[in-house]
Structure 1
Amino acid sequence: MKKWDKQFIGGEWRDGKGQRVYEDKNPYNDETLAEIRLASSDDIDVAYRSARDAQKKWEEVNAYDKVAVMERAVDLVKQRRDELVEILIAENGASHTKAQIEIDGAIGIMKEAATFPLRMHGKIMPSVIPGKENRIYHNPAGVVGIISPFNFPFHLTMRSLAPALAAGNGVVIKPDLQTMISGGLFMGKLFEDAGIPRGLLNITVCSSSEIKDAFVEHPIPQIISFTGSTPVGRHIGELCGRHLKRVALELGGNNAMIVLKDADVEKAAGSAAFGKFLNAGQICMSLNRIIVERPVYEEFVKVLVEKASQIKYGDPADRDVVVGPLINNKQVGRIQDLVDKSIEMGARYALRGDTKGNVFPPTILVDVTNDMPIAQEEIFGPAVGIIVVDDELEAIKVANDSEYGLSGAVHAGSIEHGVEVAKQIVTGMIHVNDQGVNDEPIVAFGGEKASGLGRYGGEWALHEFTTTKWISVQTMPREYPF
């Protein structure tokens, strides 16, 4: 891992010019994996200028040649899969299962993006003016700045990177420091070896405390793509509005699963266990609240506790471990505080364990009400509250009683009844007889309310990273009124 000690700027692997050296550490055992001199604001400037200059050449590359580059990148991920799994386990604290899921998801995105160069369609439209022809072109936006998170670093960076590159843009990435390799530097090497033009992709490992808002406010990027917390997303959205930049924001979630009284309790509990405890709950789509109709409440709690108590937690290098460490100790304290305050307000433990280091055990609270911190705050960890309701109208009301609207789920005996309930939940995505953690490369992905703006995936991603231009052609003399 120590080889990942350079920035990737202007087609070169070089030291940053920042004020300090950052230690990238294993969140499970605190081992230092790599050290890197951070990038400065001057480095950000060089990166954006490099991406802009290279983008002009990349835009003119034949569409089939762009496809070939993207396909080579897919092949390289497959060849280097074992290395990437090791990096995700060591740097991100990912379990083997989570690492494999993450890589498969990224490959799906890359395959879909590889079709984009052949889908940059224009069209000719009629005009109200005699002798005029209207032509609509879809062009690259120019340069895209990507700020990516720590929780699914490879997947969530690639979700923006692959579509942006394939649509003909230059890119600069600012990965989360805690996952600088899996969320950034690894991709620099990947696409360098795949054959992209020199300087088209830049990876800037930097600290916001040093560069402030320079990454977003720089005049070159036309689009900023951010995945992360809602408070930071609001700030980035404000900056982009001030500078008239387009912005794609995938933010926090307070995702509810509704279990109706006619649901298959065994299947619902199985969905809940996966949707809550995958990646130790550090997923924006993870279940935050489970809302259960009273007739099946006690049975559901019993089955979920049985399933969750069998989940192994600890060292992610152990292939049997499902819940590995949280990304840092600050997160451990934050989640424990949410639990403690909810207990003080009347919630009870249905399942708890011993926290060791950054490993927080699977935790289930019952007698939860929707005003408790465990229900109001995004948990982003392996703890969940179960809320009992008297009927589905109350379930819908409780589910919607949140500023967030990212994902969710409904379990019902009748699929179409489940769909009708799902339609009433204000959220960008919701899944019937499944759980909240779903992401497919050809489907629109994004949230409502405080969960973000814009959509990723398939044709929606192609739209996010391109711009539309109208050119009219007057084929015969036009008569004017003066």
Structure 2
Amino acid sequence: MSAEYKFESQYIQGQWRSGASTTQLTNINPYTQETLLEISAADMRDVDEAYSSAHNAYKSWSKTTEEDRSALLQRVMAIIQVRREEIITWLIKEAGSTRLKANIEVDASLSLLAAAVDYPKRVKHETLPTSVDGQESSVYRQALGVIGVISPWNFPFHLSMRSVVPAIVLGNTVVLKPATDTPVTGGLIIAKIFEEAGVEIGVLNVVVGTGSEIGDYFVQHDIPKFISFTGSTRVGKRVGQLALSCRMIKRVALELGGNAPLVVLHDADLDKAVNIAALGRFLHQGQICMSTNRVIVDTRIHDVFVDKLIEKVKTLRYGDPDQSETLIGPTINQNQINHIQAHIQQGVKDGAKLILSGEIQRNVIPPHIFIDVAPESALAREESFGPVLPIIRARDEEHALFLANDTEFGLSSAVCTEDLDRGLKFALQIDAGMTHVNDITVEDQTIAPFGGEKNSGLGRFNDRWIIEEFTRTHWVTVQNTLKQYPI
């Protein structure tokens, strides 16, 4: 195995070098609070160079064969398998991932790579019927060009790879801006892996910088044809506005916030529903866009469900993310801790009953559960992005459906019932991009469309949906015989 990777620099034009900004970024372990490394941040000049590098590389990369691009991904997969523990270690110490979550994240990325190897073979031109004599009519799908990717800190490795991998294998080039909380797992380790795999110079560039210094410029730059953003709804709306107001309108994919409901109907298997609720909310301490943000329970089973849930959640281990039995690790940073604390305090102020709680230790927030939550309260309406679970009482199935849809978000959702036909009917009435019957709200598969409705975003990831996002449709006709015109 090669020596362990080192990270202190930007990756631009195939070179590792310091950013041009005077800002120094300190990368901190959220559990131990130790400094992992310091990075000289990128400024707008670095963004210019990264986009120029990607633009120049596109001219040759877009002309490479399907086999060459697929072979690159196969080499990337092999390197990840060899360096698996190194990547997992970084996810634990940089992103606060538990060992369970880190393994899930790496496995998801490997599945993504395995599926994407075949993407180039699926980009074929189609011959269309035509009523014009002597004409050949065809539709081609072609690479877009340069794609700008902005990724978040919660699943940094996978959510960066989810855009980077299909973009590159389809013939595009990429400039990646990872979150400043996770510059390594969200960007620099990916650059190292692709570099080791022999990627052509300029095909992938990584700039690590603050949103205040390069965020808007990254989106508004003339070169990228597409901006793929994963993050909060607030920032995502600004990204969309900037992309539409550019000199040349850009395509965007926005994977934003969620307020995923888990609906427990009166005929549900309560033991199953409790396990679904506990894992769906507290995996990765609730820092997942698809995380169960509220549970809506039929009043007929509400009290029994709550008793069983409390019993279950009290058994969940929280603390050191490097311990294999830990489910709930540290919150990413102090700002996020402050947000979650304010969310809890507001819940109490609004009259909800806090029936399970605990003291914060080393950025680890123990599970918090509320009952008697008003549907119009902040607890019910806002995304906590933390280990806080509000339970809302529904009068009946119709009321439960109303409560599930009574939100500005529409990413993921779930319903528990022993009547599968009833569950499917209920699922199809939820205004969301994804709904799961008798399963957790946290679900992502490489052959299924991933994305949301309403303020949860635009576009879809995975399989044919991401192929369509990262290529353009080009209609071409060829007139083989003389055509008669009316002039």
Whether 1:91 and 2:94 are equivalent positions in the alignment is: yes
- What SS does the aligned partner of 2:329 have? coil
1:82 matched to 2:50? The reply is: no
Per mean C-alpha deviation after superposition, the further-off stretch among 368-377 and 256-265 is: 368-377
Contact residue 298 and residue 397 of structure 2 kept, 8 A? yes
CA distance, structure 2, for counterparts of residue 2 and residue 20 of structure 1? 23
Deviation per residue, 1:294-325 (Å, 9 max, x gap): 11111111111111111111111222211011
Q: What is the rounded CA distance, in whole Å, between the counterparts of 2:282 and 2:52 in structure 1?
A: 42
Q: In the alignment, which residue of structure 2 is the partner of 1:170?
A: 173
Runs of 4+ in 1 over 3 A off after TM superposition: none
Q: Which residue is equivalent to 1:148?
A: 151
Match of 2:401 among 396, 404, 420: 396
Assess if the C-alpha contact under 8 Å between 1:290 and 1:386 holds in 2: yes
* Alignment partner of 1:115 is 2:128: no
2:344 paired with 1:349: no
Whole-Å Cα distance in 2 between the matches of residues 210 and 433 of structure 1? 45
Give how far 1:212 is off. 4.5
Structure 1 partner of 2:379 = 374
Q: Which of 112, 135, 138 is the matching residue for 1:135?
A: 138
8 Å CA contact 2:140–2:475 kept in 1: the answer is yes
Q: CA deviation at 1:279?
A: 0.4
**Do the aligned partners of 1:224 and 1:246 also contact (CA within 8 Å) in 2?**
yes
- The secondary structure found in structure 1 opposite 2:137 is strand
Map of 2:22 onto structure 1: 19
1:2 deviates by: 8.9
Deviations 1:55-114 (A, max 9, x none): 111111111111111111111111110000100000000000000001111111111111
Trace 1:37-436 onto structure 2 (pairs within 5 A).
37-243=40-246, 244-436=249-441
CA distance in 2, matches of 1:372, 1:342: 8
Aligned-pair CA distance for 1:443: 0.6
Q: How does the TM-score come out when normalised to structure 1? A: 0.99
Q: Which amino acid aligns with 1:454?
A: G
Quote the Cα distance in structure 2 between the aligned partners of 1:209 and 1:63: 39
How far is 1:357 from its partner?
Answer: 3.3
Q: Which amino acid aligns with 1:469?
A: H
1:6 paired to 2:24? no
Shift of 1:343: 1.3
Q: Give the whole-Å Cα distance in 1 for the aligned partners of 2:283 and 2:31.
A: 16
Measure the CA separation in 2 of the matches of 1:37 and 1:330.
22
Shift of 1:429: 0.3
**SS of alignment partner, residue 181 of structure 2:** helix
Aligned Cα root-mean-square deviation (Å)? 1.0
**SS in structure 1 of the partner of residue 448 of structure 2:** coil
- For residue 479 of structure 2, what is the aligned residue in structure 1? 474
Q: The residue matched to 1:295 in structure 2 has which SS?
A: coil
Distance 2:474 2:389 in 1: 48
Task: Pick which of 6-15 and 312-321 moved more.
Answer: 312-321
Q: When the two structures are superposed, what TM-score results if normalisation uses the length of structure 2?
A: 0.98
Separation in structure 1 between the aligned mates of residue 6 and residue 162 of structure 2, nearest angstrom: 25
Deviation at 1:3, TM superposition (A): 2.4
1:457 equivalent in structure 2? 462
Question: Shift in Å at residue 199 of structure 1?
Answer: 1.2
> How far apart, CA to CA, are the structure 2 residues paired with 1:195 and 1:467?
27
Which digits, 9 at most, give the CA deviation of each residue in 1:222-280, with x for residues without a partner? 00000000010000000111121000000000010000000000000101111000000
Letter in 2 for 1:52: H
Counterpart contact for 1:290–1:387, Cα < 8 Å: yes
**Identity across the alignment (%):** 45
* Per-residue Cα deviation, 1:92-140 (whole angstroms, up to 9, x for no partner): 0000000000111111111111111111111111212111111111110
